[in-house]
Structure 1
Amino acid sequence: MTKQLKKGFGSDNHSGVLPEVFEALAGASAGHEPAYGTDEYCEKARRVFKENFADSAEVYFVFNGTAANVLSLMACAQSFNSVIVSDISHLNEDECGAPEANGGFKLVSLPSINGKISADQIEKKLIRSGDQHYSQVKVVSITQPTEVGTLYTIEEMTSISQLCKANGLFFHVDGARFIYSAQALGKSFRDLTAGVGVDVLSFGGTKNGLLGTEAVVILNPALNKNFQYLRKQRMQLASKSRFHAVQWLEFFKDEKWAKIAEHGILMAQTLQRLLEKQNLLEVVYPVEANSVFVKIPKAWVKPLRSKYFFYIWDETEFVARWMCSFDTMVEDLEGIVAEVQKLSTSVI
């Protein structure tokens, strides 16, 4: 019996793995290769990351996004330091205290507007610099795209970076969906990292069609000194590292990442248009990446979820988050819109 394929809008890490990635993994499985990142695939991947980010860039593969974020911050900060984040950041809301538990530093959250924080907000948190009674700010972390699918412009990133440099702070970017920012803004990875003074990037793979691999991209050479030891100590060094590297090689091949991002953005924009065309639901954030946030009646949640799974982002206002992936099809969009249409004309 053929299993019926389930599709939903819960998350872009609910989707599967790119077929080309599976083929690449199978190809890399033939024969033997040295372990712990000393194989030819890892060496080639390191060159590819340098070509795409900066000549000085170094890449370290890890198993998940939490590790990428936490290790990035641990490379920058000590236990008496603090890290400035947005109030809705993954670091602040969805890492189960991993930054604090592993790094010992304090997270200082700022109220976000459309998911973003500004240089002006950050500057106000630096007033107690040098005060021995106060956790010393050492890192600013932003998410690009933000948790609500909005984008920092080059100018906004540059403004934050300049403030960081002027005050001896490191600039970290949580880029679990970073490919969407590059595609939507029409900028290269180099433009959005080294070009604006980012020190370290958590670069997402799992949400973008890869299998259990994320990358920490260090742009500031000073942060490389102890990173290999941090990664090993925190149990993120893969023995058969070639199975990390080969996925990223496939990801960058013929700019496959750009095709993934272009498709995800198109699907999100199409979903927004379908909803607006039928005057269905309120889209509450600008659709700039691969997500659509809509306010729905509470009574609709259960019946709609029974057809297409999704998460409620804000349970006070019943704002749903609908994520599009590399395998989202127009039929999926039409399907959920049709279900919304049915609910809008029925009494529950």
Structure 2
Amino acid sequence: MLPPFASDNYAPTHPEVLAAIAQANEGYAVAYGADPWTARLAERVREVFGAGAAAFPVLNGTGANVVALMATTSRWAGVVASDVAHLNTDEGGAPERVGGLKVLTRPTAHGRLTVGDIEAWAGELGDVHRAQPAVLTLTQSTELGTVYRTQDLRALVEAAHAMGLAVHVDGSRLANAAAFLGVGLRELTTDVGVDIVSLGAAKNGGLLGEAVVVLGPDDAPTPGAAAARRAAAAAVPYLRKSTMQLASKTRYVSAQLLALLGEPGTPVVSTGSTTAPLWWRNAAAANAAAARLRAGVEALGGDVVRLTRPTQANAVFATLPRDAADRLRARTLFYNWADGESPERVEARWMCGWATSDSDVAGFLAALAQSL
């Protein structure tokens, strides 16, 4: 059986993260985040995202999304999202069940919302019969492996803020987007006016845990946004506890995030192989594996396997005959994403992770050729 190409969640935990957890396991530490690791994480998040940014470790990505959205909205509010947003399709209705927030979706091309998609909800504002659009959520990179560029993000944020909406980024793969664009995490969040971030770790070499990051009020584009960020930062600790996302032994989550982001005082981002923080190295490795996989699929030639989406982060999408997909799945795990161009064909998603090696890709491509 070949290594799986179903999800970057299938990858093992990075050895540097495991070492950080082991180091954090020495001796006693105060519970619920009053520990040295969480204090250093708070310092590091200010270095990475800007002065005033506040980090709140949580247990998983769904919890991070729910807490972040609840902190920026009211119970009668709605969340503007892509139709394929993870929080809409794959979180069991948690934003609605737990957060009480209606998800307001728009159909998207390759998973990316446009300014027009946001402005389409303007007519709902002030209508007592409608869930009030209150926050825009953007998945970066998207569920379809595409990336919002900085200029596009800035336009989306400006449109949302003009309508009075806060802006949340589901950053489960934010590292992959940053590595693809060659920028730091701040450039995709603080610098374009984003208000709050679900910072991913598990898909990029972590073991268990993510973080909610409320960006600094002093970096907010308007006084209203600054006030909203202060209110969100004050609300998150209570929401985190009431939604069962506060870990008693928070130090183990914070230690992982520190291993990925780097300890305070280290370079925030560098593309050098030895100086880059672990989050960058892992994301760049996953993206490079996906690029090699895509190139190998293209090299097969013919029209039997058809690439369907841009490969910008660590995902490759293609259609192929269903029977060939079934034969390939007997050799490696992956998901059928959608129906293909005909009933006999299916669109598959092939994901790469930080640990996907050249030999893994070569073995997959050989198995794909055989399955055809």
| TM bucket normalised to smaller | over 0.9
Per the alignment, residue 322 of structure 1 pairs with 350
The alpha-carbon deviation at position 237 of structure 1 amounts to 0.7
The CA distance in 2 between the partners of 1:45 and 1:91, in whole Å, is: 26
> Is 2:57 aligned against 1:54?
no
SS of residue paired to 1:225 = helix
Pair 1:283-2:279 in alignment: no
Q: What amino acid sits opposite 1:107 in the alignment?
A: V
Within the candidate set 15, 39, 46, 2:35 is matched to: 39
Q: Deviations over 1:187-228 (max 9, x none)?
A: 211111110110111111111111111111111333111110
Kindly indicate whether residue 121 of structure 2 is the aligned counterpart of residue 125 of structure 1.
yes
| 2:293 corresponds to which of 271, 288, 297 | 271
Which has the larger displacement, 314-323 or 264-273? Answer: 314-323
**In the TM superposition, what is the alpha-carbon distance from 1:152 to its structure 2 partner?**
0.7
2:249 counterpart letter in structure 1: K
Shift of 1:139: 0.5
Mapping for residues 95-110 of structure 1, pairs under 5 Å: 95-110=91-106
CA distance in 2, matches of 1:195, 1:294: 34
Of 72, 82, 85, 1:89 maps to 85
**Partners of 1:109 and 1:141 in 2: CA distance:** 10
1:124-203 alignment runs, 5 A limit: 124-203=120-199
- Comparing 66-75 and 121-130, the one that deviates more: 121-130
8 Å contact from structure 1 (residues 57, 221) kept in 2 = no
Contact 2:58/2:246, CA 8 A, preserved across alignment: yes
- Picking from 243, 246, 255, the partner of 1:246 is 255
Q: Distance in 2 between matches of 1:7 and 1:337?
A: 12
TM-superposition CA deviations, 1:100-146 (whole Å, max 9, x none): 01121211100101111111121021113112222111001111101
Cα offset, 1:6, TM superposition: 5.6
Paired residue secondary structure (2:124): coil
Q: Secondary structure at the match of 1:141?
A: strand
Q: Does 1:28 align with 2:24?
A: yes
Indicate if the aligned counterparts of 2:79 and 2:102 stay in contact, CA closer than 8 A. yes
How many residue pairs get matched? 340
Task: Look up the equivalent residue of 1:312 and give its one-letter code.
Answer: N
1:16 and 2:12 equivalent?
Answer: yes
Q: Is the 8 A contact 1:80 1:135 kept in 2?
A: yes
Query: Percent of pairs identical after alignment?
Result: 38
Match of 2:316 in 1: 292
* Matched-pair contact (CA < 8 Å) for 1:56–1:221: no
Indicate the larger mover: 43-52 or 251-260: 251-260
Give the alignment's TM-score, normalised by structure 1. 0.95
8 Å CA contact 1:78–1:103 kept in 2: the answer is no
1:237 is matched with: 246
When the two chains are superposed, the root-mean-square deviation of aligned CA atoms in Å is 1.3
Structure 1 unmatched ranges of 5 or more: none
Aligned to 2:223: none
Shift of 1:301: 2.2
Aligned residue type for 1:54: G
Match in the other structure for 2:331 = 307
Partner Cα distance (2:99, 2:370) in 1? 50
**CA distance in 2 between partners of 1:133 and 1:342 (Å):** 56
Match of 1:76 among 72, 76, 80: 72
2:208 is paired with a residue whose SS is coil
Quote the Cα distance in structure 1 between the aligned partners of 2:173 and 2:146: 11
For residues 292 and 124 of structure 2, the distance between their equivalents in structure 1, rounded to whole angstroms, comes to 47
Partner AA of 2:285 in structure 1: H
TM-superposed deviation, 1:56: 1.1
What SS does the corresponding residue of 1:41 show, helix, strand or coil? Answer: helix
Secondary structure at the residue paired with 2:134?
strand
CA deviations on 1:285-311 (whole Å, 9 max, x unpaired) are 000000101111100122211111101
Equivalent residues of 1:21, 1:250 under 8 A apart: yes
SS at the partner of 1:24?
Answer: helix
Determine the C-alpha separation between the residues in 1 that align with 2:124 and 2:371.
54
1:315, distance to aligned residue in structure 2 (A): 3.6
**3-state DSSP of counterpart to 2:160:** helix
Q: Which amino acid aligns with 2:200?
A: G
- Kindly provide the amino acid, as one letter, of the partner of residue 295 in structure 2: R
Q: What is the TM-score normalised by the length of structure 2?
A: 0.89
Q: Match for 1:204 among 200, 207, 219?
A: 200
1:316 is displaced (CA, Å) by 5.0
Q: Deviations over 1:146-177 (max 9, x none)?
A: 10000111111111111122121100111100
